[in-house]
Structure 1
Amino acid sequence: MAETSHVVDSSWEQELNKMAEQLKQFLDKNGKEKDPEKSASIFHQMGLLYKEQSKQDDSITKKLSLIRSAALLNSAVTRQPGNEQFKQSLKYFCSNLLKTAGAKILDADLLKIAQEVKEMTENMRKGTNESLKQIKTIPYDVTIDEQKELEAEKIANIKTIQAQITENYKNMMKFVSNECEKIMGNPPCKYSITGMGSLARYEITPYSDFEHIILLEEGVQEKDNYSQVLEYFRWFSVIFQTIIINLQETIIPSVAIPSFKHVTKPGEKEFFDAFTKRGISFDGLMPHACKLPLGRMERTKKKPWTTELIKPVNEMLTYLDKDEDLKNGYRISDVLMNTCQVYGDEQIYQQFSEGVRNVLQSDQPSHHDRLMQQLNEDLTNFDAFNSLSALSTDSKCNIKRLVYRTSTLFISALGRLNSIDDGPSFAIIDQLTNNNIIDDETAHLLSFAIAVSCQVRLKVYMEKEGQDDYVGEEQLYDAMDNKVFANLMDTVGERSMMDYFAIVYNLQDVLRNKDDLSNLKFNITLTPLDKFKMLNLLQLNDRVIGDWESYSQEQPPNTSSQNELWIRYYVARAYFLTHQYKESLLMLKWLEERDIEHQRLKVTVIRAKARCLYNLDRFQEAAQFIGRVKSEVLNLKLSDSDKYLFRSHLAYIIARCQDELKEYQLAIDQYMEASEYYVRVDQRDEPWKEINRAICFYHIGLCLYELGDYDTAITEAEKSLQHFEQHNGPVNNKCRSHLERNEYDEALKYFQTELDLRLQFVPSEKQDSDEKIKLARSNIQICQNSLTRVMQE
């Protein structure tokens, strides 16, 4: 039965925008659907509209419209699986697609093919889950020999699991490729479907995108029918992508529906598909993605070019040595360096591989310069130390950024810098060993890091049943009780997580500090300092203290090596964070008497001592101590950002001391100084700079309140809210000031704001027992009663 035709005219874009606007009523403040069943009809209508509009589109836009239609219609079906109209629309779409593509087999069942792939996928995932359960967690307290044995076992197990997943994934894609070839008829030339990314590195997951290109035999571009050849493979790719979309694991934003962006106003969250299982799909159509044969088909104002990845071998190789038209948010040259054969003519793939190998082994300065530029960018963007340091401010962490890429990117870089063919990370490490660039111990450590990174990613994806890179809570309930580290270490255990970061920290340090990476030989040895540093960053404070007790018994007393000084600082910090301030202060005083060469450690010890004195209620002593050492901080050889960071911290501590001593005007001056210094701190050095500024204004408001200056107190509270709207302290301060002036309506507004904010952060099961929520509700009632009384009077 033919489906009712949708009338399409020149206003179809307005119609799509209207539908997108209607969808907004079903979204929460984060752009997620409140009731997916209600959204389904909108996606269904949009899918039909894209299908009809494709009849009016030019050749390229037609393909985009059909891909978007497939994604939208599948999204409607997943939200209302019992809706026969939706299912019929999808079936009719698939049939119509084959006619539009000029397929040879017009009665091919794309939904049935997808179902077969889905069964293969489920078997792959089931097998992966069973294999992951067999991997042992390495206990924290084991002997060195036991640890090495368990690490070698983990490496072997992960290699096996990743090889199995890669083989299964390739087989699925071979199956789909073969079906597409049957549907489209005999190909007009020889070709190779070539995989990229984690598939080529044998690090694919059962929920990963299929990133690939289509290589054509060399010389086909000289034939008269070359345009028809390209059209064959473009439609081949559209049918392939439709089959994958029919797995119903493609989220709607990945097909880049323009209407969702057009109707989003400043400050609003764009629609995000949190309902669809994020699993096997093509790379997205967003401008920064498009690692798929059709490539980048839409121009934007900032990036007015297109890029297609269906090309003869030599034309594809030209991408390795040029930058124009390729800055999509990644370098295509980097992506094409690491590939694998999936389906088609093996010889064509070998020709391309040989061309890549020649580029890798060339002495061209431009090639080396490009590698170094990319490496330096990655060292900045995926700095393991800074990422861990900043994690204490987050409620969730992205394991792909924090764990997976902090190791795999740099193993790949080592391979390219040493003219080693890109491939599996484990194979690159083996080749580095064979070439005497690293020793056996370093090879073991790097292999273990890769094994941990793969295990973490696999475990998180398998537990979430989707490509969700985050571990942690949706919102941070208590900044002083951050569960994100515990959630992170639950994935593979404390020992493996600690060693992972110690290894990648050393690897990145080598790459960052070596002047000549073209003749690089290095080895990594994990030291006690590495261990204490990572335990500190992972907030395993009890481990730091426990390990110190055993470690210190083995060390000669009063050693003053610089590494030993750092270790003792980490121990002092662990004491402080476990509220053992006296023990922390003793350790810091010991450090203060030593000759500390590292300037940052010297000033860190000063700050830590001041904080200890404050927490021991020794306010006068803390303020006097900071007063004595402030000039010393100014003379230390630190970066400007570090100087401002430490000066702001010290000014804040003095202010808190004067606050406690009821010297409110002096405290205000110091809070202002701290706030001004925070402005100049680099965001990377102090991720909480705006929150810290908010806290300064909050305390200024409290001091003004104590001084009876209620008008100015409210003004300062306003500043605090501007810097961190969800900081509850300023809200309370405004309420108190308004209440003091009998402005109950204003106080009511702010108490209600506080209640609303707290309800966002506190889990629903804790809200009835939360004392601050009870207090806010009580304050609301007091204000309402007061307003009623005033009106009656």
Structure 2
Amino acid sequence: MAGSSHLVDSSWEQQLNKMAEQLKTFLDKNGKEKNLKKSASIFHQMGLLYKEQSKQDDFITKKLSLIRSVALLNAAVIRQPGDEQFKQSLKDFCSDLLKTAGAKILDADLLKIAQEVKEMAENMRKNNNESLQQVKNIPYDLAIDEQKKLQEEKIANIKTIQAQITENYKNIMKFVSNKSEKIMGNPPCKYSITGMGSLARCEITPYSDFEHIILLEEGAQDKNNYPEVLEYFRWFSVIFQTIIINLQETIIPSVAIPSFKHVTKPGEKEFFDAFTKRGISFDGLMPHACKLPLGRMERTKQKPWTNELIKPVNEMLTYLDKDEDLKNGYRISDVLMNTCQVYGDEQIYQQFSEGVRNVLRSDQPSHHERLMKQLNEDLTNFHAFNSLNALNMDSKCNIKRLVYRTSTLFISALGRLNSIDDGSSFAIIDQLNNNNIIDDETAHLLSYAIAMSCQVRLKVYMEKESQDDYVGEEQLYDAFDNKVFANLIDTVGDRSMVNYFAIVYNLQDVIRNKDDLSNLRFNITLTPRDKFRMLYVLQLYDRVISEWESYSQEQPPNTSSQDELWIRHYVADAYYVMHQYKESLLMLERLDRFQEALQFIGRVKSEILYLNLSHSRKNSYRGHFAHISARCQYELKEYQLAIDQFMEASEYFALVDQRDEPWKEISKANCFYYIGLCLYDLGDYDAAITEAEKSLQHFEQHNGSVNDKCECYSLLGRCHLERDDYDKALKYFQTELDLRLQFVPSEKQDSDEKIKFARSNIQICQENLELEMLYWTSLTI
């Protein structure tokens, strides 16, 4: 262990980098710790070094070093709770901090206070979990009236649960604020601890971080002792954060240790704190975060500025019209628009709230332009349908991005567009309804979507006992065996998940297609196409087919309808996935003869030309229909017809806008692969090799799944095997096997059919190579 005399012998940055390099040797390929005892020792050394360095820092970076120090010391204790040296270092830090801060109560026990807070948090979580268990999933097959009744019950239950958590969370933060104030002594002026983010929206979870600012009374900036006033609240914030960090729910990356990034080479995984339970903490110190009183304390090359969020009311209000120096990955003006009082002087908070309301009600072009710019960015980044489609090629789902922000961001935007200053999404919806912007049914649907988004997030966090937004597996292996949708649906049931995405898809579509949102009046009605679309995207293929069987009996066929064209696409693809190939073709043409089926498909694609669609959308339709028919023809062993259709599909996909078909390049690669497969079955191995190589290259360039690439290697191996080129065949089969073994659990490898097939092909190649060797050896003899 390095003593303090050693700590100052050389550049502290160099020492930190050396420690970070050492930590790398204890991490696996995903950046996770393999040896907790050794990593704990490194964190302890780094924590002591930051503490020592803080003595040399200026008045701002001193506080940054101390925050990093206490986070690292806690990390060491978390990993080795029985190490008395680690615990003593943490205790000494807390004692020394109070002296450095000039605290009034120097013998305050910050660790004991943290333990009291932890008990409050555990009670909150226990009560929340019990309440959440009472909220049942809605069965799929229910009459509409019964569904709506259960939906209304769920909305009411989630509102109650969120209100309880919000109140409990505020009480925790009031407790910490009160303790921090007493430790520092009487404040030099009146102030307000003001919450932001999900706390202000009444959508907080028992594992959320605390985004907040400190508002000072107006006029504090004119006092002679204003620098001392700011220092008081800066140290108040450091003590507050230290208590929160002592809960031991703050992951190390949130304090942004530069050395970890500095020693990471391009392509390497950065250090990832998978061991610390992520729970109640302050907002992180990363450049894109810093929604905390001390604000952004470090400059970066791309963002060479700092900002502080301890300010008098009017100075804080000026941020509502700024963004030139605050683009940390968010706009501070956006988060300041939605706040709540947590602790301190209520009147100061009311003054700030009134100032925010005045900005919301103003007609300032700059405010509206920023809002519209942010809204357009959100429509791209949180596009519900594209995000769902993307999960076809991923194995993990970020429920905060996919299920929470796809609804709450847009309800919030509608509130601000209509000068509604109530932060709760539910309250905004009620006000939109009261103002006749939406009707009763739309208000119900939107409220249900918000209830669903809150329930999903709460369930995932409570089950993991951590603020872990991911459901699913670590790595996607086979796109056709992807469990991410099943894991997502398990959280609240298939009926609720289908309805959620149908609602938010329509909401986003309304906002996206309105030229003038300042006079927006809209209503949402869920159509059969909405239902089929979401069933299909969520891979509930058996539901797609059963829904079609009911729908087709009630509705006469109408192939000129955009809605029915898409419904047929979803159902046809569902039949294909369920291995009902003839049914898939019949779905497209309603005829019994194969040639007439092809004619029908051509007719449907011709009818698309006359629909009011963009050029890109028409080609998307045509590509999907050609692709479905081609796959079915392949399964029916009509290889030449399948080749023609796959070529046609790839040509259509090439003409599609990436925004309309996010995975068009993967679809093209899939066409190339199937063309190669057809050519292989036709015996044209040279041409098959060309297509397989083209497919593999395309999958590599556009992030195809592991299984996609393995299938290409397998096809290339089989082609070379048929050409008696055993060396090349062996190379491809071995590459395929090695790749599959990386992603199939060891206990399943012996039973995996694709692995067994690859091993069998390798054995065939090796046996043939041995025969060749014996043959050439016999000739020389």
Q: TM-score, normalised by structure 2?
A: 0.89
1:144 aligns with 2:144: yes
In structure 2, distance between residues paired with 1:714 and 1:449: 44
Distance 1:529 1:697 in 2: 30
Q: CA deviation at 1:373?
A: 2.0
| Paired residue secondary structure (2:340) | strand
Letter of the 2:711 counterpart: G
State the distance in 2 between where 1:556 and 1:706 align.
45
Is 2:287 the counterpart of 1:287? Answer: yes
2:414 matched residue in structure 1: 414
Matches within 5 A, 1:540-559: 540-555=540-555
> Contact 1:3–1:89 (CA<8 Å) still a contact in 2?
no
Q: 1:248 to 1:11 in 2, by over 3 A?
A: same
Inter-partner Cα distance in structure 1 for 2:520 and 2:693: 58
What are the within-5 Å matches in structure 2 for residues 685-764 of structure 1? 685-695=660-670, 698=673, 703=679, 706-708=684-686, 716=694, 719=697, 722-723=700-701, 724=704, 726=706, 727-736=709-718, 749-764=731-746
Query: 3-state DSSP class of the match of 2:193?
Result: strand
Using a 3 Å threshold, how does the CA distance of structure 1 residues 124 and 735 change in structure 2: closer, same or farther?
Answer: same
1:767 aligned to 2:749?
A: yes
The answer to whether the Cα contact below 8 Å between 1:714 and 1:737 also exists between their aligned partners in 2 is no
Distance, in Å, in 2 between the alignment partners of 1:546 and 1:713 is: 37
CA change 1:755–1:73 in 2 (3 A) is farther
Aligned to 2:365: 365
Q: Could you tell me how far apart the structure 2 residues matched to 1:370 and 1:695 are?
A: 41
Equivalent residue of 1:340, what SS? strand
Query: Contact 1:721 / 1:731 at 8 angstroms: preserved in 2?
Result: no
Q: Which range is displaced more, 298-307 or 742-751?
A: 742-751
* Correspondences of 1:16-165 after superposition (within 5 Å): 16-165=16-165
Q: Which residue of 2 aligns with 1:195?
A: 195
- Give the letter for the 2:136 counterpart: K
Partner Cα separation in structure 2 for residue 562 and residue 630 of structure 1: 12
Amino acid at match of 2:414: L
Whether 2:442 is the aligned partner of 1:442: answer: yes
Superposed displacement of residue 95, structure 1: 1.6
Q: How many matched pairs?
A: 765
| C-alpha displacement of 1:59 | 1.7
Q: What amino acid is aligned across from residue 491 of structure 1 in structure 2?
A: T
On the 8 A contact 2:216/2:311 being kept in 1, the answer is: yes
Aligned to 1:593: none
Distance 1:15 1:782 in 2: 56
TM-score normalised to structure 1 length: 0.88
Q: Which residue identity lines up with residue 330 of structure 1 in the other structure?
A: Y
Percent identity between the aligned chains? 80
Deviations 1:78-119 (CA, angstroms, capped at 9, x unpaired): 111222222122112222222222222222111111111111
What SS does the corresponding residue of 2:481 show, helix, strand or coil? coil
- Contact 1:721/1:730 (CA < 8 Å) preserved in 2? no
Distance in 2 (CA, whole Å) between partners of 1:504 and 1:40 is 45
Shift of 1:688: 3.3
284-293 vs 675-684, which moves further: 675-684
Matched-pair contact (CA < 8 Å) for 2:672–2:691: no
Q: Unaligned regions of 5+ residues in structure 1, if any?
A: 591-608
Distance 2:614 2:80 in 1: 58
Structure 2 residue identity aligned to 1:443? A
Structure 2 counterpart of 1:302: 302
In structure 2, the partner of 1:173 is 173
Which stretch has the larger CA shift, 481-490 or 6-15? Answer: 6-15
- The residue number in structure 2 matching 1:317 is 317
**Equivalent position of 2:424 in the other structure:** 424
Q: What residue number does 1:600 align with?
A: none
Alignment-derived partner of residue 214 in structure 1: 214
Give the secondary structure class of the aligned counterpart of 1:49: helix
CA distance in 2, matches of 1:63, 1:790: 73
Aligned partners of 2:165 and 2:205 also within 8 Å: yes
Would the alpha carbon gap of residues 70 and 777 (structure 1) be closer, same or farther in structure 2, given more than 3 Å must change? farther
| Residues 1:714 and 1:126: Cα distance change in structure 2 (over 3 Å) | closer
Deviation per residue, 1:343-388 (Å, 9 max, x gap): 1111110100000011111122222222222222222222222222
Distance apart, 1:199 and its partner CA: 0.2
Q: Which amino acid in 2 is paired with 1:36? A: L
Residue 672 of structure 2 contacts residue 692 of structure 2 at CA under 8 Å; is this kept in 1? no
Tell me the CA shift for residue 548 of structure 1. 3.5
- Is this contact kept in 1: 2:477–2:705, CA < 8 A? no
Residue 278 of structure 1 contacts residue 468 of structure 1 at CA under 8 Å; is this kept in 2?
yes
Return the alpha-carbon distance in structure 2 between the equivalents of residues 78 and 476 of structure 1: 31
Which residue identity does 2:218 align to in structure 1?
E
CA–CA distance in structure 2, aligned partners of residues 622 and 55 of structure 1: 81
The letter of the residue matching 1:761 is F
Q: What's the CA shift string for 1:613-635, capped at 9, x where partnerless?
A: 9xx9x6x8888888899888789
* 158-167 or 361-370, which deviates more: 361-370
Contact 1:194 1:349 in 2 (8 A): yes
Paired residue type of 2:265: K
Q: Say if 1:98 and 1:751 are closer, same or farther in 2 by CA, change over 3 A.
A: farther
Q: Does residue 523 in structure 1 map to residue 498 in structure 2?
A: no
What does the per-residue CA deviation read over 1:636-671, in whole Å, with 9 as the maximum and x for residues that have no partner? 87546546656766887898779966769x95x997
Q: Please state whether the residue corresponding to 1:192 is helix, strand or coil.
A: strand
How far apart are residue 417 of structure 1 and its match?
Answer: 1.1
Change (3 A) 1:685 1:717: closer
Alignment check: 8 A CA contact 2:676 2:692 kept: yes
* Bigger Cα displacement from structure 2, 687-696 vs 413-422: 687-696
Unpaired stretches in structure 2, ≥5 consecutive residues: none
User: How far apart in 2 are the matches of 1:567 and 1:692?
Assistant: 20
CA-CA distance at 1:582 after TM superposition: 3.4
The answer to whether the Cα contact below 8 Å between 2:386 and 2:662 also exists between their aligned partners in 1 is no
Task: Work out whether residues 360 and 416 of structure 2, in 8 Å CA contact, stay in contact via their aligned partners in 1.
Answer: yes
- SS of the counterpart of 1:215? strand
Report SS of the residue matched to 1:209.
Answer: coil
Return 118-127 or 576-585, whichever deviates more: 576-585
Deviation of 1:515 (Å): 3.1
> Within 5 A, what are the aligned runs for 1:600-749?
639=614, 641-642=616-617, 681-695=656-670, 698=673, 703=679, 706-708=684-686, 716=694, 719=697, 722-723=700-701, 724=704, 726=706, 727-736=709-718, 749=731
Which amino acid in the other structure matches residue 688 of structure 1?
A: W
Per the alignment, in what secondary structure is the counterpart of residue 342 of structure 1? Answer: strand
Letter aligned with residue 752 of structure 2: D
Aligned mates of 1:10, 1:740 — CA distance in 2: 66
* Alpha-carbon separation, structure 1, partners of 2:623 and 2:558: 32
Q: Which moved more, 1:396-405 or 1:456-465?
A: 396-405
What's the CA shift for 1:134? 0.7
For 1:754, the aligned partner's letter is E
Whole-angstrom distance in 1 between the partners of 2:549 and 2:288: 51
Shift of 1:191: 0.7
What is aligned with 1:401?
401
Residue type of the alignment partner of 2:111: L
Distance 1:499 1:42, change over 3 A: same
Conserved in 2, the CA contact under 8 Å of 1:697 and 1:717? yes
Partner of 1:508: 508
How far has the Cα of 1:686 moved from its partner? 3.4
| Match of residue 375 from structure 1 | 375
Residue 719 of structure 1 aligns to which amino acid in structure 2? Q
- Do the aligned partners of residues 550 and 787 (structure 1) sit closer, same or farther apart at CA in structure 2, a change above 3 Å counting? closer
Q: C-alpha distance in 1, partners of 2:568/2:24?
A: 55
Task: Report deviation, 1:70.
Answer: 1.4
State the one-letter code of the partner of 1:118: K
* Distance in structure 2 (CA, Å) of the matches to 1:407 and 1:559: 33
Q: Shift of the alpha carbon at 1:233?
A: 1.0
* 1:4 Cα deviation from its structure 2 partner: 5.2
Distance in 1 (CA, whole Å) between partners of 2:685 and 2:144 is 62
CA distance in 1, matches of 2:750, 2:321: 63
Any idea what SS the aligned residue of 2:25 has? helix
CA contact (8 A) 2:207 2:279 kept: yes
Offset at residue 318 of structure 1 (A): 0.4
Alignment CA distance shift 1:672-1:534 (3 Å): closer
For 1:519, give the aligned amino acid: N
Residues 207 and 278 in structure 1, CA contact (< 8 A), matched pair in contact too: yes
